[in-house]
Structure 1
């Protein structure tokens, strides 16, 4: 946080921003996490070759970290960014933690043990039963153009948000602050902790093509999610009936 609004930034090959704060946070996490359990640590700011090598090496135990999710917000002064840590085994998360330093909120979950924020069990409040009354988190940049056009012209929800920090999207969904969610392609570190937090809070998630969420390669995974099974079924069915080209 001492670097918030005070750090220079550069662009990676994919056009996204990174800063020395990302690297410093990642290095600190690598050191501390390996002291807890000496598994490999896969961080967002590593190169693609390292990601793939660590994924293979970490089949029986892998830390996955996003040191600052929402770097553009961090650089621009928008207060939506977070640190994300997950512990995976055989490609599935066992533990997930997302910390929002601006709001001083810590979301966390353990597989089979529920999800919490600062000691309070998630979700925090009741949610609507019908899709048309829901608040949606939608990342329009990464979904098919035809589907984006349908959502713009005839959206089935009440209102739409995009925080610019995927890890917080998952947590807000788990808390009941958002109700449904759509993203066209997330990286492992974007969803590893958040998807566990959501499902442990009672939510559901699948991929845009209808596939089981945890199937397929981990590097670009679409997400159709909701904070309840009932809303997920309505959201999934609405999306399935629209063009995806």
Structure 2
């Protein structure tokens, strides 16, 4: 494979597909559940052998092609993650080797590899590969978003919340705030995929119209949110307990909202009734 001087979406999509073939799908596919066995980390999330193998292969491959760009991975210690994030002007990869590890470990086909390039205090480009559906979403800041090279965009069947499908992660919302999301003028129906980066991409691709998540890490939203935003969706990150948008690159958890349009996002934010304490 030819090496690009600067990271580009085509080259990176080939790299992600290769690591999925090498490390991810052979451990999913038709393998028995024991081959996908997971252990619980200190924060309660799961990690499998596949998470570590995907991260290691991408660390090796990316450093060989772009040796001056270090990688911040979810399966690193918090100390190492913070050290890498300190210099926000320098280029830095941000990787979630498997977003949706619980799905992967249970054999549920809703997981992905998420990779973003951070530079100058913002996300410069992002890719999210769904290896089950062979869908690779990508975006470069200011240049729109694609799926397998074809442009994507949000879609809404109508201008009101009641016209929309909502994806909501209820686990990370304050329990006393859940009931207020429902009502005669609320969303048409509700889903939860359990893979944050894919949820952002599906919002950008028009597969649902409203989004709410109470506690996303940087590796959860970096690539996916850029893709949704570049596709034309309205998106917002906020610190828990705040009503002010905050898109700074931080390891702190963020409340995430999104909608197929700015008008829908205004209605959705009013329904959600910020601030949220996050999760």
In the alignment, what sits opposite 1:17? 46
In the alignment, what sits opposite 1:200? 230
Secondary structure of 1:2's partner? helix
Shift of 1:145: 1.8
Match of 1:237 among 270, 274, 277: 270
Gapped regions of structure 1 (runs ≥ 5):
none
Shift of 1:93: 0.6
Q: Which moved more, 1:49-58 or 1:122-131?
A: 122-131
CA contact (8 A) 2:235 2:257 kept: yes
CA distance in 2, matches of 1:96, 1:145: 33
CA distance in 2, matches of 1:221, 1:93: 15
In the alignment, what sits opposite 2:75? 45
What is the TM-score with the length of structure 1 in the denominator?
0.93
Q: Which moved more, 1:79-88 or 1:205-214?
A: 205-214
- Asked if 1:210 is matched to 2:243, the reply is yes
Q: Which moved more, 1:140-149 or 1:47-56?
A: 140-149
Gapped regions of structure 2 (runs ≥ 5):
1-24
Q: Within 5 A, what are the aligned runs for 1:179-190? A: 179-190=209-220
Shift of 1:227: 2.1
CA contact (8 A) 1:139 1:182 kept: yes
Shift of 1:106: 0.3
Equivalent pairs counted in the alignment come to: 244
* CA gap 1:114/1:12 in 2 versus in 1, 3 angstroms: same
What is the TM-score with the length of structure 2 in the denominator?
0.82
* CA gap 1:227/1:146 in 2 versus in 1, 3 angstroms: same
- Asked if 1:69 is matched to 2:99, the reply is yes
Q: Within 5 A, what are the aligned runs for 1:25-104? A: 25-37=54-66, 38-104=68-134
Indicate the RMSD between aligned Cα atoms, in angstroms.
1.9
In the alignment, what sits opposite 1:2? 26
In the alignment, what sits opposite 2:201? 171
Name segments (4+ residues, structure 1) moved above 6 Å. none
